[in-house]
Amino acid sequence: MSGDLGPDAGTCLSEHVPAVSEPRRKRHTPGRDLWELTKPGVTRMCALTAAGAAWLALQSGDGPFPAETAADGWCSPGFAAGFAGVVGASLAVAAASAFNMWLERARDPLMPRTKDRPLAARRLSSATGLGFAALLQLASIAVLALFTNPLTLLLTLWATVGYVLVYTPLKYRTPLALLIGAFPGAAPPLLGWTAVTGQLDLGGLALFLILLVWQMPHFLAIMLFRRQEYARAGIRCVSVVRGESAARVQAFLWSLLLLPISVLPSVIGLTGPLYCAVALLLSLGFLGWALTGLRPFGDRATELRWARRFFFASLIYLPALIVALVLDVVLR
């Protein structure tokens, strides 16, 4: 659902504090440390994608609820199911993030980006972190079980287990962990969709595939400019095991695959020509930037600068795609 190479890496630059002064340390409180365990930036992004998918499912009229508009009210059954799906999915992401920090509390001090996390810095006890993660997970299960449907609950549990118990340990053993972790990382829009529809269909799967493929070049960029940190922590990512050139080639190939995947919602009739045009333009621009990474770099600083800019391009790409999707449905 999120991860150090995966879904939390999107906020890694904002989380990095090079030199924490004494006055800044005094601002830490138990409440803020518990909040930090949820990786708020990751949880917000996941909530956004889940909410967009739930809203799109409502507009499409798929599943047991007819297409809804603002006139139907915020308390309509469809809106309530979609809202519960977003809340439950967000709680699951927060729980998975907390479980991840608990599992990696001994390795996080090895990297500047993660050494100040609450468990790594020992501001919170191991038992507190584990208990908080379990509480979030139980809350997620309760919300989804009471207000959505069995399919959404099962998919959420699959994503949480896949991220915490499969992806997290595998990233210290094989570069394939990135692809494996992308599957639970792409779950939020699928959960938002199934909370409303109660079924796996082309609409939900299309949104799932977009997020799955987008994650790959996004995280490969991070692996490039964080390569030395990951190597020191023993993370077997692509740039460490197979080299930086291989990571840039893979980023280009995944960006190439993102081009047709991004227009799937229009191909299956979920969105119209506006979204299709914007998705094509965004994907072509993203692919063009990935292509520039295949050229020889004169020095390490230039390569790092490219990787950081490619990373920021990926951060712009996904929200812009969601905005285009919403506008397409609203304006039709």
| pLDDT single digits (tens) 102-156 | 999 999 998 988 999 999 999 999 999 999 999 999 999 999 999 999 999 999 9
pTM: 0.87
Interval 208-260: pLDDT, tens? 999 999 999 999 999 999 999 999 889 999 999 999 999 999 999 999 999 99
Q: What is the mean pLDDT of the chain?
A: 88
d(CA 328, CA 268): 14
User: What average pLDDT does this structure show over 80-92?
Assistant: 95
Q: What pLDDT is recorded for position 263?
A: 97
Residue 65 backbone class (left: φ over 0; alpha: ψ -120 to 50; beta: rest): beta
Token pair in block for residue 153: 């609950």
Task: Phi first, then psi: give them for residue 118, nearest 5 degrees.
Answer: -55, -40
Q: What pLDDT is recorded for position 254?
A: 98
d(CA 49, CA 206): 13
Task: Examine the pLDDT at 62 and tell me if it is beyond 70.
Answer: no
d(CA 190, CA 212): 11
pLDDT band (50, 70, 90) for residue 74: low
Please, what are the domains in the chain? 1-11+29-200 (1.10.357.140)
